[in-house]
Chains A and B, each alone.
Chain A
């Protein structure tokens, strides 16, 4: 069993969990993900790791309780255990030869951008972090980003915190101001990533996008996570999750990620209560 060692609320919807998973923590690297299952009846869902501690044998995940499984996950408290955690899956973030990067995170995506940005920073890469949120209440990880990157720029759509505007505006501004990046990393909603990668392309900068997709096993067996990259079908789980942003067929990815939305919304309405792996069906 995979015990929850620590649970920390980041805001109303986002939570940071530290989970005991020695086999995963041993080899985990920034950019890799896990698949978890809350309990016997749960779905397998992929989540990018927010960090890990190889010595303590723990991994970190940050989730927003917006879907059925994350709502169930939210019912777990410190000391409870998840049924399954498997990983590290996918390829780690590519860092070789990079000197300076801009990492652009959107909403929940900032939780996933966090290990990439700080991981790169720890490798000696200069990291400008652009973290975009809907409003002030949604802002997460500000102190962590400040401590773990070189420059932090927070934007909110309504201007209630940081600078008013979208991450793409800020990215453009930084590039226009003469900042030179070897690579731009986009992590967030596919629509945001699409526009971030477009800007990178416009300025002739290499872009990397961390994709999420439906998947079952995470080892290439189901093919559910296929995405068109440079005109070819790739599996996000084994070929990714990070891809050259200029090669991603964004519109197709956005469509594919909506496939089970209806079923999930219906099921999420039925999620009632769950503690320590015991469910109570309504």
Chain B
């Protein structure tokens, strides 16, 4: 039975006025009834355009059909065939540019809420069937083949976790090295609790451990051991998924004043180091008026955390307009609901400090959009003489990252790509025999799901490589 509604079933959410004072998850998830109802909006297109939009090629119409039948565990098993982290993807993927962006329903109304359904299915599984059979267990033969062959994964973020999960499902002996004290990468240190509860990340990691993956935290590969030494330790292949690296700053005057920090630092103190909980020691600056510079998901996360940490006024300062803003639509929607003040077509030129060296303002200029640049987006141009000062006592820079050179500098024969990341081909193979790389470490800052796609590709390539070895 088809549900003819042109709009998605709305997602139950915490009230903006209440949620902007707590770190509990904003979106509460569908009830089984809502999920079934939403699943019935799927037209079961023969060409499955939605699947093309998914970097890990989840069998979307198939799992949605199971949801419509109320067979939620079966739906989960279908998603699990290709996605290592469904509970995560359902929450953080930019579905509007991916699966839902290709949904035929979207042409004349809203697309099917694929992300919300994925989340529902993953959460249902976690609540009802947590100890289900590991995916791929039916492939007994390949497990035998994979057994005892050791693979090292460097970095326990989305790329590394996906790669480890896929290889473990095939029976490989996988060890994941993580430089921080908890696995998860950006899922642990970057994305806030209210968007991605850390219990979910921990559960995904625990699932991998059940499949036999070993996690070694506090291990900085390139420092404590090099990639080349991992081979000496008996690993036959290494996947490098070390993430985006060093935060960029604008190189404007006053950027080292007290009260200016990177979004990476601010978010890590709050998310990984739990600075929002009184029982944790982590110091977090208690600013009243905060400007977050940037328009990506990281900027939205920082701004919404700032609000929850008690800031009275939080600005997003972004140099282009709402048309070009790169953050996920839902994040912008939520940020606006929570009272974040969007200063669009504005660009900082200097941070102003008081006599003690603390931030007391952010000088900005107004921008207008000129001709399209190489990226196809209209280039922002400064309106001369439009300078003004935002009254803030904290500035958070969320303007992207530069690539970390540690692995490149400490690994023999590993070549960079033109962006300065680790050079890797479409199959994630690098110039170094047996070394594969993917995710932000290769592409520069991108999304969780693209990193997962790269981890998946790498796992397949590693399997092929080891078979030929």
Contacts and interface: CB of A to CB of B under 8 A. Distances in A.
Interface string A24-59: 101100000000010001111000000000000000
B363 interface: no
10 contacts: A26-B224, A84-B217, A86-B179, A86-B218, A86-B220, A216-B268, A217-B268, A233-B251, A255-B258, A267-B283
B399 to A, nearest CB: 11
Most buried by B among A41, A258, A260: A41
A85 B268 contact: no
Contact of B220 (A43, A219, A258, A260): A219
A222 interface: yes
Contact of A220 (B217, B245, B251, B280): B245
Most buried by A among B181, B245, B268: B181
A84 B182 CA distance: 10
Given A41-B280, A222-B268, A224-B265, A217 B179 contact: yes
B357 interface: yes
B224 A44 contact: no
A267 B282 CA distance: 10
A43 B282 contact: yes
A252 B256 CA distance: 8
B258 A23 contact: no
B262 interface: yes
A23 B262 contact: no
A220 B246 contact: yes
B5 interface: no
A178 B281 CA distance: 50
Contacts of B281: 41-43, 68-69, 72, 267
Nearest to A222: B265
Contact of A223 (B223, B243, B265, B274): B265
Contacts of B273: 43-44, 216
B220 to A, nearest CB: 6
Interface of B: 179-181, 189, 216-220, 223-225, 243, 245-247, 249, 251, 255-256, 258, 261-262, 264-265, 268-269, 272-274, 279-283, 285-286, 357, 404, 406
Contacts of A42: 281
B179 A219 contact: yes
A224 B223 contact: no
Nearest to B284: A263
A180 B171 CA distance: 63
Contacts of A228: 256
Contact of B283 (A27, A43, A72, A221): A43
A87 interface: yes
Interface of A: 23-24, 26-27, 37, 41-44, 68-69, 72, 83-89, 216-224, 226, 228, 233, 235, 238, 252, 255-256, 258-260, 263-264, 267, 281
Most buried by B among A89, A228, A259: A259
Contacts of A264: 283
Given A85-B218, A86-B218, A221 B258 contact: no
A213 B314 CA distance: 27
Nearest to A220: B246
A63 B262 CA distance: 29
Nearest to B242: A219
A223 B262 contact: yes
A249 to B, nearest CB: 9
Nearest to A228: B256
Contacts of A258: 258
A224 B283 contact: no
A243 to B, nearest CB: 15
A24 B246 contact: no
Given A68-B281, A86-B181, A219 B256 contact: no
Nearest to A37: B181
Contacts of B269: 216
Contacts of A260: 283, 285
Contacts of A27: 223-225
B400 to A, nearest CB: 12
Contacts of B217: 84
A238 B222 CA distance: 12
A44 B189 CA distance: 13
Contact of A263 (B223, B262, B283): B283
A220 B222 CA distance: 13
B246 A87 contact: no
Nearest to B178: A86
Nearest to B286: A263
B290 to A, nearest CB: 15
Nearest to B247: A223
Most buried by A among B255, B265, B279: B265
Contact of A235 (B246, B258, B285): B246
A238 to B, nearest CB: 7
Given A41-B281, A233-B256, A224 B225 contact: no
A195 to B, nearest CB: 21
Contacts of A281: 279
A250 B301 CA distance: 33
A26 B283 CA distance: 32
Contacts of B268: 216-217, 221-222
Given A72-B281, A217-B180, 8 more contacts: A23-B225, A27-B225, A84-B218, A216-B269, A219-B406, A221-B243, A222-B262, A281-B279
Contacts of B247: 221-223
Contacts of B272: 216
Contacts of A267: 281, 283
A156 to B, nearest CB: 32
A83 B264 CA distance: 23
A223 B282 contact: no
Contact of B279 (A41, A43, A218): A41
Contacts of A72: 281
